[in-house]
Amino acid sequence: MSRRITWADAACPIARAADVLGEPWTLLILRNATAGTTRFEDFRAQLGIADNVLTTRLAKLVDRGLLTKLPYRDGGRTRHEYRLTRAGSDALPVLHALGAWGDAHTPSETGPGPMTLVHTRCGQLTRPGAKCDFCGKNLVRGDLAWRGSWLGEGEIPLADPVA
């Protein structure tokens, strides 16, 4: 599906963000990258996305600086992992806001329940922000995990961006 217009140079920052994040699958790819998915095969299996669509979306996320493409050896072949950059990592508040909106306005009868944020240092639920609601310590990405998510039971630590 090809878009007829681009908002990449729009004056409005919401339009520019929509130009990068607004295509189908893009936010779900970022969600999974935030949860630590790095390999093409894993994105494909977790999302059920067609190879050509995944290839296009990953290339655009790399091109726009939200993911970086790093080579690794798999047997005799060179393949690539896709890791969050600082820009991709900075999309976390958008993912949290969409998750909260989705929990409030599109409840799932079959899902694991609301997606929550856990401060792993104290083990308590918190909300996105600067400090933990329970212990008051500063929230650092490496000390956060999602619980009650689409990937099943347990806690899913949030991936750190590459330097």
Domain range list for the chain = 13-86, 91-157
The residue type of 79 is R
How far, in Å, CA of 83 to CA of 103, rounded?
27
Non-local (6+) Cβ contacts of 114 within 8 A are 103, 148
Residue 84 has pLDDT above 70, yes or no: yes
User: Using 50, 70 and 90 to split pLDDT, how confident is the model at 4?
Assistant: low
If you average pLDDT over residues 113-138, what whole number do you get? 93
Roughly how many angstroms between the first and final C-alpha of the chain, as a whole number? Answer: 33
Q: Given a cut of 80, is residue 112 above it in pLDDT?
A: no
The CATH number of the structural domain formed by 13-86 is: 1.10.10.10
DSSP state of 131: B
Per-residue pLDDT at 19 exceeds 70: yes
Token code pair at residue 161: 């961006």
Q: What are the Cα distances from residue 3, in Å, to 16, 23, 59, 60, 81?
A: 14, 9, 16, 14, 27
**Contacts for 118-126: CB closer than 8 Å, 24+ residues apart:** 118/144, 118/145, 118/146, 118/147, 118/155, 119/143, 119/144, 120/144, 120/145, 120/155, 120/157
Give yes or no for residue 1 having a pLDDT over 80.
no
35-77 pLDDT tens trace: 999 999 999 999 999 999 999 999 999 999 999 999 999 889 9
In this prediction, residue 57 carries a pLDDT of 97
- Residue 163, pLDDT > 90, answer no
